[in-house]
Amino acid sequence: MKWTASSVAELGDLWGEGLSASEIAERMGLTKGAIIGKADRLNLPRRPSPIRKRTSNVVPLNPHLPATELPHEPTGCRWIEGDVLAGPWRYCQAHQKAKSSYCNHHHQRCYRRVSEVEHEVAQ
């Protein structure tokens, strides 16, 4: 993985939005280790402890679903919201786009990212 100016900027944006390293890794198609290593070299502020976040934040990530209806088995979109390693996390579960594991929104998000990266690599 060669970091480009735009991928570094994207990392900074996602990091600034408060996404976990594993979420950023998934969205950028990189390993969690690569994200953490780069964030460290960029001196980005450290993430708050996910353990503290879990005790203080019990609000469901998808406001359309009540917390009591949050099975971890995917029944719709398989986009993972949250931090799989540090928890809490869940699948998006919105209606899947035809022939996709994701809902319309996440399908576009996922596949646009990949094509952007390929574009950068080709340059």
Task: List residues near Zn ion by CB under 5 A.
Answer: 77, 79, 92, 94, 103, 106
Tell the smallest beta-carbon distance from residue 26 to Zn ion (Å).
13
Tell the smallest beta-carbon distance from residue 107 to Zn ion (Å).
8
Tell the smallest beta-carbon distance from residue 97 to Zn ion (Å).
9
Q: How would you class 123 by CB atoms within 10 Å of its CB: exposed for 0-12, middle for 13-18, buried for 19 or more?
A: exposed
**What tokens were used for 55?**
């005790």
Nearer to Zn ion, 39 or 92 (CB): 92
Nearer to Zn ion, 30 or 77 (CB): 77
Phi, psi of 90 (to 5 degrees): -165, 165
CA distance 4 to 105: 26
